Amino acid sequence: MHLPARWRTVVSAATAALAATALAAGPAAADTGLSPGGCPDVPTVQPFAPWQDVADYLLAPDGDLEAGGSSWLLSGGAAVVEGNEPYAGAAGDHRSLRLPAGASATTAPMCIGEEHRTMRFFATSGGSSPLRVEALYTKRNGNEKSVTLGNVHGGADWAPSPVLAMRVNELAGEYGNAMSVSLRFTANGKSAWQVDDVYVDPYRIK
């Protein structure tokens, strides 16, 4: 599978910048605000605690869609719409991602290290067809690669997705442990979906 030309440029540039940051950090990472994994250390939340998942998660780029999805790549009729999942995020959140059957949406690239082991989100669907979730990255030889993280089934009510292994994080060591990755959501079959609050878990040893 191939990334659109727009994202090939963005992902390649982001990969180079992240690798340079990781190399420059070296042993002085503690003084630069970087975590030991090489990616920026950012605030985390526990949005899935009511479901006995007390892992710390960080929000994917505009993962709550409250910025209007301007950094997402939308195709096939995908759009940001009114209506928010009722469990996580800020009290004033009011937007989510609508995916008609066959539509797809891709986040902007984010930094992924070996410690970013899983991801999760909220979704709802009125049909039985699954939602495919993929991680997209550029290989060291310049070729674009997609890795399926899972095919998720949903219900009529908003609910958290299963915990999905990031999988590509196992390759992050080849990129200075600062790998540029986008997440793509595709509504397979004949079912429409709504997606909101996309999170990644940066595992921390306590």
pLDDT of 53: 97
Average pLDDT, integer, range 191-197: 97
pLDDT of 204: 72
Whether 4 has a pLDDT exceeding 60, the answer reads no
User: Distance between CA 64 and CA 121 in Å, rounded?
Assistant: 10
User: Distance between CA 137 and CA 11 in Å, rounded?
Assistant: 7
pTM of the model: 0.82
pLDDT of 23: 34
pLDDT of 15: 43
- pLDDT: is 11 or 168 the higher one? 168
Q: Where are the alpha helices (DSSP H) in the chain?
A: 5-25, 29-32
User: Distance between CA 89 and CA 83 in Å, rounded?
Assistant: 13
Q: What percent of the chain is predicted at pLDDT more than 90?
A: 76
Per residue in 48-59, pLDDT tens? 999 999 999 999
Per residue in 96-138, pLDDT tens? 999 999 999 999 999 999 999 999 999 999 899 999 999 999 9
pLDDT of 126: 85
Whether 148 contacts 10, CB under 8 Å = no
User: Distance between CA 193 and CA 85 in Å, rounded?
Assistant: 12
pLDDT of 10: 41
pLDDT of 132: 98
pLDDT of 141: 93
Cα Rg, the chain, nearest whole Å: 17
Domain that holds residue 21: 5-202
Average pLDDT, integer, range 20-32: 34
Whether 25 has a pLDDT exceeding 70, the answer reads no
Per residue in 75-89, pLDDT tens? 999 999 999 999 998
User: Distance between CA 180 and CA 166 in Å, rounded?
Assistant: 13
Mean pLDDT of the chain: 86
CATH number of the domain to which 88 belongs? 2.60.120.260
Tally of domains in the chain: 1
**CA contacts within 13 A on the Cβ side of 111:** 20
Average pLDDT, integer, range 19-30: 35
User: Distance between CA 117 and CA 166 in Å, rounded?
Assistant: 5
